[in-house]
Amino acid sequence: MDTTDIAIVGGGAVGHVLAAGLLAHTPFSVTLLDANPAQPGSVPAHVHNPSQAGNAPDTPSTHPGFDARVIALARRTVESLTAMGVPLHTAHTELIEHIQVTDQGSFGFCQLEAKDFKLSSFGEVISLQELGRLLTAHNVDKGLKYLVDEPVSQVQQYQNEITLSLEQGNKLSSKLLILADGGRSGLSEQVGIKREHAPYEQVAITCNVLTSESHYQRAYERFTPDGPLAFLPFNSGDNHAGHSFSVVWTVAAHKAQDLQQLSDAGFLQALQKVFGYRQGRIYATSPRHGYPLSLEQASQLTSHRVALAGNAAQTLHPIAGQGFNLGLRDTLDLVNVLKQHPDPGGYRTLREFAHARSADRHQTIWLTDALVRGFSNRYAGLAPLRNAGLIALDNLSALQQAFVARTTGYGPATRRR
């Protein structure tokens, strides 16, 4: 049986950020298990890959555990990754220096400038695929044992260890198991942690588009009766980089299928009608993908020698872009706790982690859910309140400071590491 100090299940961004933090700030050995099979050229050649044993990688391809979406890394996330030694400066990222928030069909409006808050930017936008390649290469170079195409079939909890049974027939013993698998594997239920599921009856349609006007590092959040529409400036790494946006368009579930079935020209016409001409004409789109939205929460963050992080702990609506960065703050607090304790899976260690995450987690979940219910509806009585809120945010310095602190990852419930 193989052994490791810490086993991480989940090969996406949260799992790899956890590995980077643990390798940078703790003495523990770390093994990351990814259930996804690797495609040729997607991971370093010396990564353990049972499904391709004996086959040399040839062409670049999609990284296992990372999809085609684009994400916004909050300011704190960028600083933390840099402190771990992750070379974000080598990636094609795009700064967010300006944020505009509007409410469709009303005069509510708010404009925020990073320089007004003595910030170089509110955050940076990067594709998940590029982040995946960057993190994998960094982690393997720093000593991560990375196993791809290794689903975990069973978890057994003992007093001083966790035993993982792998579908390939192997077993792995660790002092701590971290579930960063998005809650999809069913392993959290095996260790007695239940998940609550509350569907929003909405679908997020994601794609990348080109606009006739340059973005100048400007991001947009536009509230519509069916849900929020976000435009994030995106560095595509080609001669269209200054005109590229990543789009997350939240619509009612019954409308999503119709939008997905439109031709590219028809889809762009519908998107232009909702977004307007703030960036001139929207004239090209990548393939579109739809994601049903719900609020999911684990009943607890820990079990005996088990901790949850990222979407395995909570899955949020994409409004205001808080879910992914909340998950990364799970990893930062977990790393900070683990570097102070000799037994990574001990009762005191995990109790301290759960306590450290409590306030930030509950406040961010509440805020995100409140924004969805307050801004994603057609109730006429709420329109004046939404307008008043946006006007107040545009004019009150204290409210702006609180909003920026929250969205950049430095709200009152978080602790700067």
Cβ-proximal residues to 18 (8 Å cutoff; 6+ apart), any chain = 8, 178, 180, 309, 331, 334, 335
Last residue of a domain, one of 293, 316, 331: 293
Query: How many domains in the chain?
Result: 2
148 and 61 share a domain? Answer: yes
* pLDDT tens readout for residues 302-353: 999 999 999 999 999 988 778 888 998 999 999 999 999 999 999 999 999 9
Q: Looking at residue 320, what is its pLDDT?
A: 75
Last residue of a domain, one of 273, 293, 313: 293
Helical segments of 343-410, H only:
347-375, 383-395, 397-407
What CATH number should be reported for the domain holding residue 332?
A: 3.50.50.60
What CATH number should be reported for the domain holding residue 93?
A: 3.30.9.10
CA nearest neighbour of 94 among 284, 207, 242, 275: 242
CB 298 within 8 A of CB 313: yes
Measured CA angle at 363 (ends 361, 367), to 5 deg: 120
CA nearest neighbour of 104 among 225, 220, 201, 14: 225
202 and 188 share a domain? Answer: no
CA distances from 383 to 43, 105, 274, 369 (A): 49, 9, 17, 17
How far apart CA 302 and CA 350 sit, in angstroms, is 7
249-270 mean pLDDT: 95
34 and 143 share a domain? Answer: yes
176 lies in some domain: yes
Q: Domain span at residue 277?
A: 89-109+197-293
* pLDDT tens readout for residues 367-395: 888 888 776 655 555 555 555 556 555 55
Last residue of a domain, one of 349, 367, 385: 367
Whether residue 180 is predicted with pLDDT greater than 70 in this model: the reply is yes
User: Hey, what long-range contacts does 42-47 have (CB within 8 A, 24 or more apart)?
Assistant: 42/133, 43/136, 43/140, 43/146, 43/148, 44/136, 44/137, 44/140, 46/140, 47/136, 47/140, 47/146, 47/147, 47/148
385 lies in some domain: no
Average pLDDT, the chain: 85
288 and 206 share a domain? Answer: yes
* pLDDT tens readout for residues 399-409: 667 766 766 76
pTM: 0.85
116 lies in some domain: no
Residue 243's φ and ψ, nearest 5 degrees, are -120, 10
64 lies in some domain: yes
201 and 190 share a domain? Answer: no
Cβ-proximal residues to 79 (8 Å cutoff; 6+ apart), any chain = none
